[in-house]
Each structure stands twice: as structure tokens, then as C-alpha cells.
Copies of this chain bind each other. A is one copy, B any other.
Amino acid sequence: MKSDRSAGKVTLADVGRVANVSAITVSRALRKPEMVSPKLRQRIEEIVEQLGYVPDPVARALASDRTDVIGVLIPSVTNSVFADVLRGIYAGVEGSPFSVQFGNTRYSVLEEERLLRVFLSQRPAGLIVSGIDQSETSRALLMQARCPVVQIMEMGPAPVDMMVGFSHFDAAYDATRHLIAGGYQRIAFLGARMDPRTQRRLEGYTQAVKEAGLFDEGLIITTPRASTVGLGCQLLSDLMARTQKIDAIFCNNDDLALGVLFECQRRRIAVPDEIGLCGFNDLEMMAVANPPITSVRTFRQEMGRRAVEMVLARIAGKDVPQPVVDLRYELMPRLSTRGQERLRRGA
């Protein structure tokens, strides 16, 4: 007599009983069909169908010491950048037997460490973590992890295992070069949140303006606050209060850029004729804003998809020929940075 705890639950043994075989044979018929004779296999499949047997992932996990869960650690659920990465990750596991478990580190290295311990104690099939700035301990935990690990969002010299991302430094450097090439001389930088990736973008900007002899610390405004459109408005106000002598603004992301655009509209500052404007990430709205806003396109969904692909390949025992993938970025020049050009052309 079955205990009432397992009320109604159909088990491998139940199927086996009906099929007159042992539970393990049913298990094999489902997991490794080639190990069971075709005739028996078919019979078992029918009975499974008929009884409505559903494998129990918890029991499987305990017995086999592994799960079908890929752990994902990201610093934010609301930041649309990470929402896009998540979408890519979802697309990646789609159709596979694997599922995804997220952890929100809230930009905290310590919280990341804590979550990592929790995740690792749960025998993940794979681990995807954001960035390359883990704590020493986290890094050690990841190195010891008995599953594939992918670091996403950035490129770095010492991958824990696998890596897919792009250089935020280079991306910001190139965007700034674009502004300089367009004739802008007084290029401000607006940065929010200032997580490691934002920091690197600031470094890229700094290097570019320094090389061009255009560096001015007074043109850099940063805040630890999370970026929003409203913050973009405010940072522009702060900037204008500080100095009127700017002719371009590089925003560390598109939310800020949109806010800057709105605030410019309100202040009757012409974009791009008086101020050039460049965002980062190339959110969908950038291309249809008025004017369309120059941005740096990043491949966020692709990043998630590739990370999952790499994990799955490794799990499948396949060789991953390219364990470090640089997805690059693409500068999307639009009207918002054509001010100097137009002026020169006498527009």
C-alpha cells in the first residue's frame, strides 16, 4: 500500500509493474532507449503514456547527483540590458530539457558570492555569471565548480572557464572617437550606476578624449544612482549649471540619452546642431526618437543565447572550439551626432 504522501503519483515502479519489468528498465527505456529492446521499449512507452507517468526531477537529481538547472547570476532584473540577456538565455534553453534559475545579485559582489554558494549546493548543470569582477572567493568557487561556467557581458584576460561578451572600453573608445571625428570638441560624459562595465566605458571615453587633447574633468558627471530617463534630464541640468561650454554628450546608456534629449527639447537646445548626443546599447527606441539618437549597438540577446549554447555543448561532452567569444559591438551613427558636420556644410 502506498503511503498517502505520494497521493496519486505514478512512479517508475508503477510503470514497471504494469509492464512486468523492473523500474530500472523503464528508466532506461526513457533515458537510453537504445539499451532496451525495441519491442519492450514501445510497450513501456505506451504504458507511460497511458498511466501519465512524469519523471520526478527531484528524485533524479538526488540519485544522479546532477540537475537540469542552469544557474544564472545577473545584477538586475529591471535593467533592460539584462532583460535582453535573459531573453537570449531563455531562447537558448528552449526545446532542451534544461531550465533556468536566476539569481539577482543587485550589483553586489557579496550577494553574488552568497548566491553562488546557494546555487552550487544545488548541483547546477551549468552556471552563467555576469561580468569579470567576482570576488576572490567567488572566483575560487567557480573554478572548483564541477559544471561548465560562462562569464558574460565582458571580455577579460583570465576567464574562469568560458566567456562571451565584448569590450566596454573599446566600445566607448570608438563611440568617443566618432564624436571627435564629427568635429565635437567639448564632449561630456554622463554616467549612472557606475558598475564595473560603466567604469570601463568611462575609461574608454577618457582615453579617447585624452588622446585628442580634449580631456576636461569638468565634463564628466557620474552618479551611483540607477540610470533612468528622468536622471538623464537631471544630469543634463547639472551639466548645464556647471558649464555651458559643451558641444556633445556621451551617455553611458540609452535611458540617460533619452532623458538628455527631452531636457534639451525643453530648453530649446537643438540636437544635434548645438549638442551632439550619443547613447549606449542601442535600445529599440533610439532609432525612432526625434532626432534618431546615435548609439552603440550591443548584442545582448545573442550573448545569452551563446552562453547557453556553450554550456549545453560542454554538458553534451562536446568540445567547445572557441571558449572565449568576443561579440563586439556596432556603432550606429544617427542624426543626433551630425551637428558639426552640418554646421561645416553650412546647413
Contacts and interface: CB of A to CB of B under 8 A. Distances in A.
A56 interface: yes
A83 B77 CA distance: 7
Contacts of A230: 284-285, 287-288
Nearest to A288: B230
A216 to B, nearest CB: 27
Contacts of A118: 99
Contacts of A288: 229-230, 233, 259, 262-263
A90 B104 contact: yes
A101 interface: yes
Top 8 A-B pairs ranked by shortest CB distance? Answer: A229-B285, A265-B290, A230-B288, A262-B290, A58-B61, A54-B121, A58-B62, A233-B288
Interface string A75-114: 0011010011011001000000001111010000000000
Given A57-B121, A230-B288, A262-B290, A78 B67 contact: no
Interface of A: 5-6, 54-59, 61-62, 65, 67, 77-78, 80, 83-84, 86-87, 90, 99-102, 104, 117-118, 121-123, 228-230, 233, 255, 258-259, 262-263, 265-266, 284-285, 287-290
Nearest to A123: B58
Contact of A121 (B56, B87, B262, B284): B56
A22 B58 CA distance: 25
Contacts of A259: 285, 288
A149 B123 CA distance: 28
Contact of A258 (B54, B59, B255, B285): B285
A57 B122 contact: yes
Contacts of A229: 284-285, 288-289
Given A80-B80, A101-B101, A255-B285, 17 more contacts: A55-B121, A57-B122, A58-B58, A58-B62, A58-B67, A58-B122, A59-B62, A77-B83, A77-B87, A78-B86, A228-B285, A229-B284, A229-B288, A229-B289, A259-B285, A262-B289, A263-B290
A66 B196 CA distance: 39
Nearest to A8: B144
A255 B258 CA distance: 13
Contact of A99 (B59, B77, B101, B290): B101
Contacts of A123: 58
Contacts of A90: 77, 104
Contacts of A289: 229, 262
A66 to B, nearest CB: 10
Contacts of A122: 57-58
A122 B99 CA distance: 12
25 contacts: A54-B117, A54-B121, A55-B121, A56-B121, A57-B121, A58-B58, A58-B62, A58-B122, A59-B62, A62-B62, A77-B90, A78-B86, A78-B87, A83-B83, A90-B104, A228-B284, A229-B284, A229-B288, A230-B288, A259-B285, A259-B288, A262-B288, A262-B289, A262-B290, A265-B290
A83 B78 contact: yes
